[in-house]
Amino acid sequence: MNVNRPGASNHLPLEIERKFLIRYPDLNWLQHCPEARCTEIVQTYLLSRPGESCRVRSWTENGSTVYIRTFKQSLTDRTRIEREEQISPEEYDILLQKADPERRPIEKKRWCIPYGSHTLEIDLYPFWSDQAVLEVELKSEDEEFLLPPELEVIREVTGDPRYLNSSLAREIP
């Protein structure tokens, strides 16, 4: 989640990330990573204009829930304009009525793991038991980063539309 990325040109809130399909990680390792955080997310896609994605999220961590509305517009495979705002529970309930009927809500557990100068975001979906998605937010498209040896990358899926959450919401078993 990146509302205002430092150094973004023209003051656009940019999200620059790379995404990887990984083998399902060892939960014991995740639970014992220093400073690791786990959140439960329910993500619902709303009807939106072509070329734009709009969603609402229920984000629960340590028993506390916040609600977030997000608009995204792709610039490249790695970079999107992303506008996020926290909304009230009442606004969230109203927006759920505008859910895209072709997409189901996505439920996932997100593990945020500080590693080097980055935070790795590992999404565990209840419909996969053998794989997960890892995202790394960057300051530039060509920024280098390291991944811990405990994670096994199957392949990079940055730019592969099949692994966008908005696409997964259409295909949930």
CATH number at residue 103: 2.40.320.10
Within-domain flag for 4:
no
Within-domain flag for 3:
no
Within-domain flag for 24:
yes
Looking at residue 89, its pLDDT comes to 98
Looking at residue 3, its pLDDT comes to 39
d(CA 128, CA 23): 10
Domain that holds residue 148: 9-171
- Assigned token pair, 79: 């970079």
Q: Taking the model in full, what pTM does it have?
A: 0.90
Within-domain flag for 75:
yes
| Per-residue pLDDT tens listing for the chain (173 residues) | 443 333 334 567 999 999 999 999 999 999 999 899 999 999 999 999 888 999 999 999 999 999 999 999 999 999 999 999 999 999 999 999 999 999 999 999 999 999 999 999 999 999 999 999 999 999 999 999 999 999 999 999 999 999 999 999 998 76
Sign of the CA dihedral running 134, 138, 142, 144:
negative
Within-domain flag for 2:
no
Within-domain flag for 1:
no
Within-domain flag for 160:
yes
Within-domain flag for 99:
yes
Write out pLDDT tens, residues 52-100: 999 999 999 999 999 999 999 999 999 999 999 999 999 999 999 999 9
- Domain tally for the chain? 1
d(CA 114, CA 35): 7
**What is the torsion angle, in degrees rounded to the nearest 10, for the CA atoms of residue 28, residue 172, residue 53 and residue 69?**
-60
